[in-house]
Structure 1
Amino acid sequence: MNSVPWDFFFNPRSMAIVGVSKREDDYVNHYVRTLVEYGFKGKLYLVNPKENEILGFKVYKRVVDIEDEVDLAFLAVPGEAMPSVLEDCGIKGVRAIIAFSSDSDILSASGSRGIGEAIRKAVKRWGFRVIGPNCLGIYRPSSGLCFAHGFPKEPGDVAFLSQSGGHAAAMGWLGASIGLRFSSIVSYGNAADIDLPDLLEYFKEDPETRVIVIYVEGVRDGQRLMRALREITSVKPVIVWKGGVTEEGSKAVATHTLAMAGSWRLWRAALTQCRALIVSSLEEAAYVALTFSLITEKRGYDKVAVVSISGGEAVSAADTCSALGLKLSKLSDETLSELKRIVPRYGSSINNPVDIQLAALDPDTYGEILRVLARDPNVDGLLVLQSMEWPALYRGVEGFYELVDTLCRVRKGEGKPIFTVMQPRLLHTEYVKARDQLLKTKIPVYPTLKLAALSITSLSKYYRPPTLK
């Protein structure tokens, strides 16, 4: 089989969209408009045998009618038309294809998987390579490739490889809302040709990608996947969300992407052995990826100091950290002595978690406490439960922003990572402004303690893997 022409997938000079409609509510019409909006850097050619002009573009009857070379073709045609369109692509010399069309004919009385079989035959005959079928394709902001409105236009360093198109779209939108930015999102669907191990081999070498996230339901060659994971986790963190981990989930997988989900017990053991980081939801995948993207210091984060304005929150933080295997630092005698001097006595506690009560409202005292903790050699990072309402109600919104400024100054000045839990219960506009400032200073912001603790634990697992016995 021919090698994958990756540059034609991720940096195409020209692209044919086959099956586009004039209807604005048609997905492929939306896809063309999205490519235009996101500044696709190549030439676009639209193909529909029944139209002459769509969205201001000349429309060709067939791919072979296009005068210029075509690097990439996006195919959105009915199953019965797929063999002839693939043949046209082969004759034209197209080397890379995204098959959007769904292989729904598994539900036919014969059980035939027609589109997938047609793709495999065409790949063998013509030598091009195919992502799909039943996929949305590629989002690559540096090339202007995008399959959904609302995705971030600025590139990042996280790649998301998803067997589900719905999860691929949801990750792009979630990323836009939490400050996560991507080098690529690839929706690869039923994987009739290019499968997850192929994609991993590409992103291992991709200079735009530092962190890889996967949603996978099944693969054709499990041993090859594990080999690829072992190689890539030695240089880049890989976060894996496995679909079909229950009996009912496995049944759903079989009708979704036609994959064999396999035993979750075996998957989990293999992924752990390969040093992949296992998550169980879109939100977990996104926030763990955000953490790796922002925290670039490559060292362990085994022990943290927790800072809270509330005794109840401090207790909850201790429970959550313990449940997820994240240890609380044993503060040094020098640190305890300093905290005893700084922290107000009323209702507070200087043990870890550090419940600082009213000191959390004064930026100078707050900053002094954070610096003392950051300088403790037993502390790998600070987990700050940042209240919005109490500072805003007591000192006004500007008083809250002063506390955010303090967090940023400590992060820059002390060098120790800070992880912040902050929720926009009442102050949504103010939250966005504060969150963006924190993210710009490389401080991840989480909506829940559990997501924060899971993310820090993932850092620790990756940068300080357990010693093999």
Structure 2
Amino acid sequence: MTAVSAAVPALDYIFHPRSIAIAGVSAKETPGFGGGGFVQSLQDIGFRGPIYLIHPTAPAIRGIKCYASLADVPDDVDYVISSVPARLVPQLLEDCIKKNVRVLHLFTAGFTETGDAERAKMEQTVVARAREAGIRLIGPNCMGLYVPAARLAMMQEQIPEAGPVGMVSQSGMNAGEFVRYAIPRGVRCSKVISFGNGADLKAADFFDYFADDAETEIIVAYLEGIQDGPRLARAVRKAGAAKPVVILKSGRTEAGTRAASSHTASLAGSLQIFDALCRQAGAIRVESLEELVDTAVAFQFVKRLAGPNIVVVGGGGGASVLAADDLDAAGLKLPALLPETQEALAKVTAEAGTSIRNPIDTTSLWLEGGFEATLRPCVEASNADVVLMHTAFGSGISSRFGDARSRTAQQVEIMKKLQEESGKPIVVAIRSSTQADGFTQTLEFQELCWRAGIATFPSIARAGVALANLLRWQAMHD
């Protein structure tokens, strides 16, 4: 990867507002959706600056004083969130111009995405007027920004802990879902952008920004359409030359293309052409939101693989057989264990009902002293590039061997030690539980793992695909 510029990217100011005004907040006290939702989200994450609410009649909402118009706010405002109806946006924009606002986030929908020519014309007029006045628009029809370090949130329960993953998304829901799925697995974000129709600031602008942003080490994206194809191609190539880029592209089918057009007025474009762009840019295209999260986990925690050879260890013969198929299908290799590895495993593995071939099917992981005695030979094997340990909670083998919580804490410490000593990644696949306590234990174990720097996945198959994506990216950049 090339070095990232130390200069502050030109768009950096939009991610660090000093004050925010929200126009179109309901007088009802419930957070709800839209303006009230943004108020709640900003309060929950602890936005440090003043929040001004614009409402024609309410004196205060959620303990915050209201103003009849943006012009009535006595202080400077540099960022405005619009939740007013589309017909009121032109006047709100004029108020923003008079107030020297720098950024207008249009949560407001009802523009080009409706397919109505007059509404599309109104969107174009708003963009032209904003550009003339030097105001940047995010949207319309979007959730805007989640910036943990700046205490900006687009949805409730978004945490202030920042990390290396930046996201560009045309969909607010998919941006929110990415964050919701990623946080329990340890992925932390630098900035997440939902830009909707992209009438002014488009995907290309944000790829350009992330390429130069020192806080972003990994870029993920959800795109529905191609806006200004040549410029987007240049921006993705620039970002791909600087850091990992992983893209989920919708509109891959005729039905998806229609849905993209009605959602954000997007023209999906040829998937073949988009794949060619990804190859040229050294970017990875994935097939689902789950794969996008899994691949982000691999880049943040695994970081790099020396090769495709994987050793799998866990309990359950059927799971082991399926693991071999799933991992081979993903493009990984399951080498035969070396004689010295098998010899070490034989000392701690019972003969009946187990296997010390690869995948390794054993109960020794749950015996006193057995976890390290089983895992260490796998990690130290010269023909292993990564070790995958699979497990489950609430039923099965792990439930038969004493206190699961104290045992798993010890297991995580051992995995952390072995990973640090060997420099070889250990990843964990935690099969889902159907029991409440098992589900709770899964979440607890998952957190212990990622806090120890160990990547976790919800299945062996998903781990395999994510690791293969990491290898594919390495092959394009080495």
Seen in structure 2, the aligned counterparts of structure 1 residues 302 and 26 have a Cα distance that, compared at 3 Å, is closer
Q: Is 1:284 the counterpart of 2:295 in the alignment?
A: no
* 8 Å contact kept, 2:15–2:150: yes
Match of 2:442 in 1: 431
Of residues 301, 310, 334, the one that matches 1:304 is 310
Q: Which stretch shifts more, 113-122 or 11-20? A: 113-122
SS in 1 for 2:180: helix
Seen in structure 2, the aligned counterparts of structure 1 residues 106 and 309 have a Cα distance that, compared at 3 Å, is closer
SS in 2 for 1:45: strand
Structure 1 residue 157, shift from structure 2 partner: 1.6
Seen in structure 2, the aligned counterparts of structure 1 residues 108 and 164 have a Cα distance that, compared at 3 Å, is closer
* 8 Å contact kept, 1:362–1:403: no
Seen in structure 2, the aligned counterparts of structure 1 residues 68 and 4 have a Cα distance that, compared at 3 Å, is farther
Q: Distance in 2 between matches of 1:116 and 1:109?
A: 11
Q: Is 1:329 the counterpart of 2:340 in the alignment?
A: no
* 8 Å contact kept, 1:306–1:354: yes
Matched letter for residue 291 of structure 2: E
Q: Distance in 1 between matches of 2:447 and 2:214?
A: 26
User: TM (normalized to structure 1)?
Assistant: 0.92
Q: Distance in 2 between matches of 1:124 and 1:405?
A: 55
Structure 1 residue 201, shift from structure 2 partner: 1.1
The gaps in structure 2 that reach 5 residues or longer are: 1-7
Q: Is 1:99 the counterpart of 2:106 in the alignment?
A: yes
Q: Is 1:55 the counterpart of 2:66 in the alignment?
A: no
SS in 2 for 1:233: helix
Matched letter for residue 329 of structure 1: P
Q: Is 1:414 the counterpart of 2:422 in the alignment?
A: yes
Seen in structure 2, the aligned counterparts of structure 1 residues 330 and 226 have a Cα distance that, compared at 3 Å, is farther
Match of 1:9 in 2: 14
Q: Is 1:377 the counterpart of 2:382 in the alignment?
A: yes
* 8 Å contact kept, 1:195–1:219: no
Match of 2:246 in 1: 239
Q: Is 1:187 the counterpart of 2:188 in the alignment?
A: no
Match of 2:3 in 1: none
Percent pairwise identity: 31
Over aligned residue pairs, what C-alpha RMSD do you find? Answer: 2.3
Q: Distance in 1 between matches of 2:231 and 2:475?
A: 25
Match of 1:82 in 2: 89
Cα deviation, 1:392-424, whole Å, max 9, x if unaligned, reads 223342445444443333223333111111134
SS in 1 for 2:447: helix
SS in 1 for 2:241: coil
SS in 2 for 1:224: helix
SS in 2 for 1:148: coil
Seen in structure 2, the aligned counterparts of structure 1 residues 440 and 301 have a Cα distance that, compared at 3 Å, is farther
Structure 1 residue 251, shift from structure 2 partner: 0.8
Seen in structure 2, the aligned counterparts of structure 1 residues 107 and 201 have a Cα distance that, compared at 3 Å, is closer
Cα deviation, 1:65-96, whole Å, max 9, x if unaligned, reads 32322221111221111112112212221121
Q: Distance in 1 between matches of 2:255 and 2:322?
A: 33
Match of 2:172 in 1: 165
Q: Is 1:460 the counterpart of 2:471 in the alignment?
A: yes
Q: Distance in 2 between matches of 1:55 and 1:161?
A: 31
User: TM (normalized to structure 2)?
Assistant: 0.90
Seen in structure 2, the aligned counterparts of structure 1 residues 212 and 107 have a Cα distance that, compared at 3 Å, is closer
Matched letter for residue 421 of structure 1: A
Q: Distance in 2 between matches of 1:267 and 1:51?
A: 49
Match of 2:456 in 1: 445
* 8 Å contact kept, 1:74–1:98: yes
Cα deviation, 1:236-277, whole Å, max 9, x if unaligned, reads 111110011001110111111001001112212221332211
Match of 1:353 in 2: 359
Seen in structure 2, the aligned counterparts of structure 1 residues 32 and 354 have a Cα distance that, compared at 3 Å, is same
Match of 1:343 in 2: 349
Q: Bigger relative contact order, structure 1 or 2, given CA contacts below 8 A and separation 6+? A: 2
> Size of the alignment, in residue pairs?
463
The gaps in structure 1 that reach 5 residues or longer are: none
